[in-house]
Amino acid sequence: MKTRLNSIALASVLLATGAITPGFASAGVRVCTFPGSPSTVLDEAVTREAFRTAGVALSLTPGGFDGSDDDGVSLKELNKALARKCDVIAGFPRSTVADGSGSKLTFSRGYLHSGYVSVTLREPSVHPGGAEVVAATYASPAQLIAVQQPNVKLDLENTAELTVDAVASGHAQRAIVWYPALVAYTFTHPEQHFQIADAASAYADWHLVFAFGKSGATLQPRIDAALAKMASDGRLAALTRRWALPEPSQAARPTGATLAYRDGPGRSDSAWRMTLAGSRQPRQGGFIKVDASAPADAPGFDRTQVAHGKTLYSSSCAKCHGPELQGLNAPALRGPAFAPAANAKLTIGGVYGYMANNMPADRPGKMKPQDYADIMAFLLYSNGYSAGATKLTDDNAKASSTPLTARMPK
């Protein structure tokens, strides 16, 4: 349940701090949390203590994203909330692959380092033979992590709570889930116990921060200083202790093929990149290694496709990957972070095969083949490839084993 400061409580805050940030109404700085976030209790607790430490009056504002749906929060919705209902968003997730840095938001230092984990029952049931059933929440990094793993049958759930419940009920043998969602689940199911292991993916590592709108220049330094003070005197650790990844999960790194990827053993360092490859008949959720160093020419595409692909991207992909492909709550799709110019491991066919079978996350594989090809043309153009006279087709995109490299900023 969200906490709201009433007028008496707010007056007490003002008297205690003797200060209020200039430019804000007497109600104080309006702080919103994401709708349905499992970390809301933590986000509000850290918010109250950080703002108290900074000497800034606040009001916790529920309903800042009341127009959002289950497919995440778009940059447009973020900007709308910050313009009308919020000055600050608590519990904003950032990572090295999807940090929202292309937006106009200002961010605080992180107050919780957490991430996605692999969850099983302490005594999981044995299912001899066949693919392992792995639950994940659709349109989230959990889905990206889950589909990378070998010999799995994906069980996509609508919420993180249902994802955890799929394991608890025996519907799935394993789940990829954001750790704070597991903590929130145990609040209401204290009798349930799980085995936690590292998810072994670059997409698993996340931080919770404060995101500021126009007030960022004034508030961000003060909140950062408050968080630093809380970290040094132990208050931040006390608030986040139950939400922080337990040590066993750090040590329980899978070995061998337990969490192996199609192209080799799983790795958890941030430099890891998916090796995707092309196939004329790609399997949903599967990856087949192709030597990305083999010399080959990139398939051609024309400017008409780029324009159409940009329109399709804006309506179907930008909500998660950002309007400028910069990454928002899904990885960036342009630049060296996505496709490094040296030692490229992504292939054009691999990226296309993954996209055509698994995207958009809420309706994977449901677009027309030529629409996927047009989006691929837009991705290539956005990463420095030049348009020509040849039209990119579904077959040509699938067959390409050319390394995908960001050639130049556009």
pLDDT tens-digit map of 370-409:
999 999 999 999 988 999 999 999 999 999 988 888 875 5
Identify the pLDDT of residue 311.
94
Question: Where in the sequence is the domain holding 34, given as residue range(s)?
Answer: 7-112+205-243
Measured CA to CA, the distance from residue 226 to residue 128 in angstroms comes to 53
How many structural domains compose the chain? 3
Residue 308 has pLDDT above 90, yes or no: yes
Q: Is residue 2 one of the residues assigned to a domain? A: no
3-state secondary structure of 167: helix
> What is the pLDDT, as a whole number, of residue 393?
95
pTM of the model: 0.61
Name every residue whose Cβ is closer than 8 Å to that of residue 33 and which is 6 or more positions away in sequence. Answer: 2, 40, 43, 44, 60, 64, 89, 90, 91
> Quick check: 369 and 394 in contact, CB under 8 A?
yes
Which of the two residues, 275 and 203, has the higher pLDDT score? 203
pLDDT at 176: 94
- Mark whether 230 and 140 lie in a shared domain: no
Beta bridge partners of 388: 302
Here the CATH number for the domain that contains residue 366 is 1.10.760.10
Q: Are 342 and 271 in contact (CB under 8 A)?
A: no
With pLDDT > 70 as the criterion, what percentage of the chain qualifies?
A: 71
- In contact, 132 and 153? CB cutoff 8 Å: yes
**Pair 199, 228 in one domain:** no
Per-residue confidence band for 189, with pLDDT thresholds at 50, 70 and 90? very high
Task: State pLDDT tens for residues 119-172.
Answer: 999 765 555 567 889 998 877 788 878 877 778 888 888 888 999 999 999 999
Beta bridge partner(s), residue 59: 30
Does residue 292 form part of some domain? no
Go through 261-300 and write b for each residue having 16 or more CB atoms within 10 A of its CB, e for each that does not: bbbeebebeeeebbbbbbbeebeebbbbebebeeebebbb
pLDDT top residue among 64 and 402:
402
Q: What is the pLDDT of residue 152?
A: 81
- Least-confidence region, from 51-65, 137-151, 174-188: 137-151
State yes or no: pLDDT of 364 exceeds 90.
Answer: no
Same domain, 123 and 182: yes
Structural domain includes residue 288 = no
More confident residue, 219 or 408: 219
Do 43 and 68 belong to one domain?
yes
Q: Which residue has the higher pLDDT, 304 or 406?
A: 304
Whether 212 and 103 map to the same domain: the answer is yes
Are residues 169 and 223 part of one domain? Answer: no
Mean pLDDT of 278-300: 43
Q: In angstroms, rounded to a whole number, what is the distance separating the alpha carbons of residues 145 and 321?
A: 16
Clarify whether residues 139 and 108 are in a common domain: no
Residue 163 near residue 175, CB atoms below 8 Å: yes
N-terminal to C-terminal alpha carbon distance within the chain: 46
Reply yes or no on whether the pLDDT at 65 is more than 80: no
Indicate whether 184 and 315 sit together in one domain. no
pLDDT band at 75 (very low <50, low <70, confident <90, very high): low
DSSP 65-104: TTT-BTTB--HHHHHHHHHHT-SEEEEEEE-SS---TTSS
For residue 258, is pLDDT > 50?
Answer: no
Same domain, 220 and 153: no
Q: State pLDDT tens for residues 1-26.
A: 333 333 333 333 332 333 444 444 44
Mean pLDDT of the chain: 76
* Residue-level pLDDT at 123: 63
With a cut of 70, say whether residue 278 has pLDDT above it: no
Of 178, 203, 228, the residue at which a domain comes to its end is 203
Q: Do 132 and 169 belong together in one domain?
A: yes
Q: Per residue in 76-113, pLDDT tens?
A: 777 778 878 889 999 988 887 665 555 678 899 999 99
Widest distance between CA atoms in the chain: 71
pLDDT score for 389: 92
Q: What is the per-residue pLDDT for 168?
A: 94
pLDDT of residue 27: 59
- 357 neighbors 284 (Cβ within 8 angstroms): yes
CATH number, domain of 163, equals 3.40.190.10
Task: Tell whether the model's pLDDT for residue 179 goes beyond 80.
Answer: yes
Radius of gyration in angstroms for the set of CA atoms belonging to the chain, rounded to a whole number = 22
- pLDDT computed for residue 408 by the predictor: 58
Quick check: 210 and 223 in contact, CB under 8 A?
yes
| The residue to which tokens 């900074």 are assigned | 54
Quick check: 277 and 393 in contact, CB under 8 A? Answer: no
Query: Does one domain contain both 354 and 315?
Result: yes
Q: Does 312 share its domain with 332?
A: yes
